[in-house]
Amino acid sequence: MSKVPDGFLEELRQKVDIVEIISDHVQLRRSGRSFTGLCPFHNERTPSFSVSPERQMYHCFGCGAGGTVFRFVMDTEAVSFTEAVVMLAERVGMQLPAGVNELDAAQQPAMAKHQRFREAHELTAKLYNYILMNTDAGVQALNYLENRGISRKTMVDFRLGFAPKTNNTVVSFLRKRGFQDEELVACGLAVEMGTGLVDRFRGRVMVPICDKKGQVIAFGGRTMDAKVKPKYLNSPEYDLFHKSRLLYNYHDARKLIRQGRVALLLEGYMDVISLAQAGVLHGVATLGTSLTEEQAALLKTDCDKTIVAYDGDAAGRKATVRAIDILLGAGIEPLILQIPDGQDPDEYVQANGGEAFGRLMQRRTLSVVQFLLDDMRQQANLTSSVGRTAFVRDALQLLAKRATPVEQEYEMRNLSQEFNLSVETLKEELRGFAKLNKAREKHQVRNLSTERIQPLERAFMRASTSILQAVLFDSEAAMYVMEKGVTELAEPVQTALLARLYAWRLTEPAAPPSAFVDELDDESLIHLASSLFFGETPEFTKDLLDDFIRAVERHHLEITHKSLLRQWIEAEASGDIRHATEIKLQVDQIQNQIATLRPPRETMKGR
């Protein structure tokens, strides 16, 4: 981020009318002290987008988008922070301070290096595309792509190219433009071979890989010869490129994903390209690896559901099972597209077209339970009575563990018809599995009933949110909370935001809360921070803060208590009486500590 004096930012923030700026994009209506409207970042029928002129903030309670007026301009105009500042300053007639576009001296070397890497990749992408579209060397690759149904317009849109088989086409090209050998090696465009330097990619169709801003930072190279391995070769990881943190085509698909709150997760580059050519534009793909937690977190900022459309072969189904757990862990609802005849999305859309693929997503998208049942069926031995019985029992166990009551009812009727079993028999068996699951859970959390935990969970969440508000809006309250040693809240994102707030309060004790939001660069933190500005905030007295802190402490003690109980049960079951006795003493101590903490005050319960 370019240097912009804090004083100038605050003056600009006060002069700019956030309601006026946002009204250029959203029809707003007054609602009390705020304004509401339909969110511009996702499709909705009921307004969940709020703007506070008093606090100069906006927040969508539907998709989580939020921030200051600078963030709004950045997201709607696709510009950097400094560019947003310049645009707003020009709008209100403020003169920019000297040096606003100068980089911080400490960042200059790294920023200059990264800019060189981007320039090298940009030039290389243009070179590859030119070779593909305009030279004899690219004719074979051009024919290959056209035979796969890729039009020349799509090749240009996705900037596809061809890396010739010669050893130093890219190296010579970039050397002539002033790039040093060590730069080409560092960013993965060249490799050292013997005493010389050669192109990393040779004889491959080239697919540029872009970052979230749409800048080329890497390549995927696809061989046209089935005998050449690997089929796909990606750029090596370096400063700007980490495969586990990026999704192919995310920069182009993101706006559409955010609007519909649904992403289409594909397995490869060609799936994305073929579907986009057919009009299905919200597809993204992993970069030659299984879906990662970082990629799921990236999707979570823009969608609530993800349709997984991997290949229909065994490897694709296995990868789908892994993706389901990762998406669920990120708080995203997975849906699985079942493509007929074991085809991949590219093959299906080439044969049937984009409209047929759209209808397929409507008709053959499965829930997690439906997909897992189908996967179990494909692996089961249904030709023998033993295999059929085993499958039914496994299916009922799955239903007891994962399915909603409606799903249970529906799938049991299907099982009844398929295996000629009465629904009553299946229900009785299901109840047995459900009881077994409950017994296991009850055994694990011995003496800690669900009724006791849930109210505490709710109090813990309320207390965590209130502590964040206190630290954000009240510098004295922030110091008090820090002195009490609160470091962990209900959710990881809350804990991460608390750490950033502590650091900010220590260095900027008098800064306005909106200035803190402008310092954040992680979208999940921005979304959480912006939500804190909406709703009433009480006077944070020491008594009230103590209530919040006690709720947090009590929750952490309960977690420790549960863990010790499990260890105690395991020690008793193994016959290790001495160890069980030691753990029991710790359990008693924790229980005594919990008893000393009064329940949260009624003032907090009502919040």
Q: What is the pLDDT of residues 232-245, one digit of tens each?
A: 999 999 989 999 88
What per-residue string of b and e applies to 282-315 under the rule 16 or more CB within 10 Å gives b? bbbbbbbeebbeebbbbbbbbbbebbbbbbbeee
Beta-bridge partner residues of 232: 222
With bands split at pLDDT 50, 70 and 90, how would you rate the model's confidence at 1? Answer: very low
State residue 539's pLDDT score.
84
CA distance 167 to 111: 30
Average pLDDT of the residues in 525-534: 91
Is residue 374 predicted with pLDDT exceeding 70? yes
Residue whose pair of structure tokens reads 């849930």 in the numeric block: 454
Region of poorest pLDDT, from 33-42, 306-315, 552-561: 552-561
With bands split at pLDDT 50, 70 and 90, how would you rate the model's confidence at 107? Answer: low
Is residue 484 predicted with pLDDT exceeding 70? yes
With bands split at pLDDT 50, 70 and 90, how would you rate the model's confidence at 213? Answer: confident
Region of poorest pLDDT, from 2-6, 36-40, 314-318, 502-506: 2-6
CA distance 13 to 28: 20
Region of poorest pLDDT, from 27-31, 345-349, 452-456, 458-462: 452-456
State residue 451's pLDDT score.
36
The model's pTM is 0.65
Is residue 124 predicted with pLDDT exceeding 50? yes
Contact 248, 284 (CB under 8 A): yes
Question: Structure tokens of 304?
Answer: 């609530």
Q: Which of 285, 42, 263 is nearest to 158 (CA)?
A: 285
State residue 86's pLDDT score.
86
CA distance 48 to 321: 34
With bands split at pLDDT 50, 70 and 90, how would you rate the model's confidence at 602? Answer: very low
CA distance 31 to 267: 45
State residue 583's pLDDT score.
76
pLDDT by residue (tens digit) across 417-433? 999 999 999 999 888 88
Q: Which of 309, 307, 302 is nearest to 250 (CA)?
A: 302
State residue 593's pLDDT score.
63
CA distance 344 to 320: 13
Contact 57, 517 (CB under 8 A): yes
Which residues touch 540 (CB under 8 Å, ≥6 apart)? Answer: 469, 470, 473, 474, 477
CA 428 to chain centre: 40
Average pLDDT of the residues in 378-383: 90
Is residue 200 predicted with pLDDT exceeding 80? yes
Angle at 466 between CA 460 and CA 468, to 5 degrees: 105
Helix H or strand E segment including 309? strand 305-309
Helix, strand, coil abundance in the chain, percent, nearest 5: 60, 10, 30
Distances (CA, A) of 190 to 205, 246, 335: 17, 22, 40
Which residues touch 24 (CB under 8 Å, ≥6 apart)? Answer: none
Which residues touch 134 (CB under 8 Å, ≥6 apart)? Answer: none
Average pLDDT of the residues in 335-350: 90
State residue 448's pLDDT score.
35
CA distance 76 to 22: 10
Is residue 321 predicted with pLDDT exceeding 60? yes
Is residue 459 predicted with pLDDT exceeding 90? no
With bands split at pLDDT 50, 70 and 90, how would you rate the model's confidence at 314? Answer: confident
CA distance 263 to 276: 13
Is residue 442 predicted with pLDDT exceeding 90? no
Locate all alpha helices (DSSP H) within 177-329, ordered by sequence. 181-186, 250-260, 269-277, 293-300, 314-329
Is residue 99 predicted with pLDDT exceeding 70? no
With bands split at pLDDT 50, 70 and 90, how would you rate the model's confidence at 181? Answer: very high
Largest CA distance in the chain: 82
